Amino acid sequence: MGKEIELKTAPADYRFPTTNQTRHCFTRYIEFHRCVAAKGDEGNDCERFAKYYRSLCPSEWVERWNEQRENGTFPGPL
């Protein structure tokens, strides 16, 4: 018997109390990139934001937003 796998999603956030978590996902995505911009991607400071948005956001959205950031057309406040 190996170690049990721990399954976890993003914790409940009082800013996003509704069933629809679209905005929660989007905000975590932005928070991750703001964190990286501020602290760099060496340390593990920003890792938790990445976990949150990855568990909340559909991967197609993340792909699209990554593309938009590369093209400089991402509409969010980074």
Partner 1 sequence: MIESQRHSYHLVDPSPWPISGSLGALATTVGGVMYMHSFQGGATLLSLGLLFILYTMFVWWRDVLRESTLEGHHTKVVQLGLRYGFILFIVSEVMFFFAFFWAFFHSSLAPTVEIGGIWPPKGIGVLDPWEIPFLNTLILLSSGAAVTWAHHAILAGKEKRAVYALAATVLLALVFTGFQGMEYYQAPFTISDSIYGSTFFLATGFHGFHVIIGTLFLIICGIRQYLGHLTKEHHVGFEAAAWYWHFVDVVWLFLFVSIYWWGGI
Q: Please give the residue ranges that form the binding site for partner 1 (CB under 8 A).
A: 22-23, 26-27, 74-77
CB of 22 to partner 1, least distance (A): 6
Two tokens, residue 27: 């905000």
DSSP characters over 14-71: TT--SS--HHHHHHHHHHHHHHHHHH-SSSSTTHHHHHHHHHHS-HHHHHHHHHHHHH
Please, which residue, 29 or 50, has the CB nearer to partner 1?
Answer: 29
Q: Which is nearer to partner 1, 7 or 14 (CB)?
A: 14
Which CB sits closer to partner 1, 9 or 78? Answer: 78
